[in-house]
Amino acid sequence: MSDWKKHNTTLKILRFAQEGQYGVLSTIAYTLDHVIAMIRAAENKNSPLIIQMFPWVISHSNGDLVKCASMLAKKAKVPVAIHLDHCQDPAIVKLAAEKLPFDSIMVDMSHYEKADNLARTKELVQLCNKYHKATEAEPGRIEGGEDGICDTTELEGILTTPEEAELFLETGIDILSPAFGNLHGNYPSAGPNLRFDILETLAPKVEEKNALLCLHGTNDFTPKLIHENISFKMSKINVNKLVLDTHLKYFEENASKLPLTDLLDKSNDLLVERLEYWMDVFGSSGKA
């Protein structure tokens, strides 16, 4: 393992989680308020944390929000990493790797066909490693869409195979995000229908390569389903709606009723409460 990878914040957080058999919240932040609330919750619970941002944040703030988040992460009393999620544009990957203080980048070429996905991922992983950024990639294709990323609803979902996972691991990625029935966005009324047999096959192969697993598509997940994923050493668990739901609902219902300062304080308090609840569920509380 390269020396820089031993000290990379994202990888250090996830390796401790993998060894301790707990999950780490990887939370999507859209605003600086979100970043502040997320770090507050992590400090309250003495929990490690990964704060994720979509590429939209880079264009929206000219990268300044990333820089602010990184500054706050470094000042935090617990380990906090800054991750770029679902980066689907090679030019943005290059900008993020060279110019912005991300600890890790998801090189997401899953909207291409298999061969192109693999080839583009390999090239971009080499670029990110040059600038000491850990990398994540998605062999196969997780269906659905989320705010801020390319919608794959019209594309066929492709479940990750052991052979494909091995090819991606050979590119040097640090974190593998498998497609095993998980969806971006909301699930049908019946709820998630996951192929744990795929995870059972992949988990030892990933560990053999000294890599880590990441779970995407956690909308509508129950604590029981989270625990089942963690049992396969799924250490990085992406959350969006799962922690922002009460915060956003309060904001929507009270935006025209309260002074802005009261609205922000109360909605962010709800976000902190929700984060703390899931940190307890994930088993990361007290592990910083």
Identify the CATH number of the domain in which residue 213 sits.
3.20.20.70
DSSP per residue over 164-207, as a string? HHHHHHTTT-SEE---SS--BSPPPTT-----HHHHHHHHHHHH
Average pLDDT over residues 7-27: 98
d(CA 161, CA 212) in angstroms, rounded, equals 16
Whether residue 52 is predicted with pLDDT greater than 80 in this model: the reply is yes
138 marked ligand binding residue = yes
Instruction: Report the pLDDT value the prediction gives residue 184, as an integer from 0 to 100.
Output: 84
Instruction: Report the pLDDT value the prediction gives residue 110, as an integer from 0 to 100.
Output: 80
Q: Which positions are catalytic?
A: 85
60 marked ligand binding residue = no
Residue 42 lies in a domain: yes
Instruction: Report the pLDDT value the prediction gives residue 147, as an integer from 0 to 100.
Output: 61
Instruction: Report the pLDDT value the prediction gives residue 191, as an integer from 0 to 100.
Output: 86
Residue 117 lies in a domain: yes
Whether residue 155 is predicted with pLDDT greater than 70 in this model: the reply is no
- Are 125 and 173 contacting, i.e. CB atoms less than 8 angstroms apart? yes
d(CA 277, CA 45) in angstroms, rounded, equals 10
Instruction: Report the pLDDT value the prediction gives residue 140, as an integer from 0 to 100.
Output: 74
DSSP-derived letter for residue 210 is T
Give me the number of domains the chain comprises: 1
Residue 288 lies in a domain: no
Q: Over pLDDT 90: what percentage of the chain?
A: 82
64 marked ligand binding residue = no
Write out pLDDT tens, residues 113-133: 788 889 999 999 999 999 999
Residue 57 lies in a domain: yes
User: For residue 145, what pLDDT band results from cuts at 50, 70 and 90?
Assistant: low
Average pLDDT over residues 259-279: 97
Residue 156 lies in a domain: yes
Residue 287 lies in a domain: no
State the chain's mean pLDDT as an integer: 93
Whether residue 262 is predicted with pLDDT greater than 90 in this model: the reply is yes
- pTM (2 decimals)? 0.94
Write out pLDDT tens, residues 200-253: 999 999 999 999 999 999 998 999 999 999 999 999 999 999 999 999 999 999
Whether residue 153 is predicted with pLDDT greater than 70 in this model: the reply is no
What is the span of the domain harbouring residue 25?
3-282
- Are 89 and 108 contacting, i.e. CB atoms less than 8 angstroms apart? no
Angle, CA of 202, 196 and 203, to the nearest 5°: 20
